[in-house]
Copies of this chain bind each other. A is one copy, B any other.
Amino acid sequence: MQDLLVGFISRYVSLTEDEKKAIVSLDIFRSVKKGTTLLKEGQHSKDLYFVIKGCIRTYYIIDGEEKTTAFYTEMDALTPHCAISNAPSDYFISAVEDSIISVGEMEVNIFEKFPKFETLCRILSEELLAKQQINFDEFKTSSPEQRYLNLLQKRPDLVQRVPQHQLASFLGIKPQSLSRLRARILEKSKR
Copies of this protein chain in the complex: 2
Say whether B81 contacts A141, CB under 8 Å. no
Which residues in B have their C-beta under 8 angstroms from that of A135? Answer: 136
Which residues in B have their C-beta under 8 angstroms from that of A118? Answer: 118-119, 122
Bound complex: CA of A129 vs CA of B3, how far in Å? 28
Q: Mark A44-84, 1 if CB is under 8 A from B, else 0.
A: 00000000000000001010000101000000000101001
- What band does the interface of chain A fall in when counting residues whose beta carbon is under 8 Å from B? 20 to 34
A159: interface (CB < 8 Å): no
A2: interface (CB < 8 Å): no
A126: interface (CB < 8 Å): yes
A169: interface (CB < 8 Å): yes
Which residues in B have their C-beta under 8 angstroms from that of A177? Answer: none
Bound complex: CA of A136 vs CA of B138, how far in Å? 11
A28: interface (CB < 8 Å): no
Of the A-B pairs whose beta carbons lie under 8 Å apart in the complex, a sample of 28, sorted by A's number, is A60-B141, A62-B141, A67-B140, A67-B141, A69-B136, A69-B137, A69-B140, A69-B141, A79-B126, A81-B130, A84-B130, A91-B137, A111-B119, A118-B118, A118-B119, A121-B122, A121-B126, A122-B125, A125-B126, A125-B129, A128-B129, A132-B132, A132-B136, A135-B136, A136-B139, A139-B139, A139-B172, A141-B172
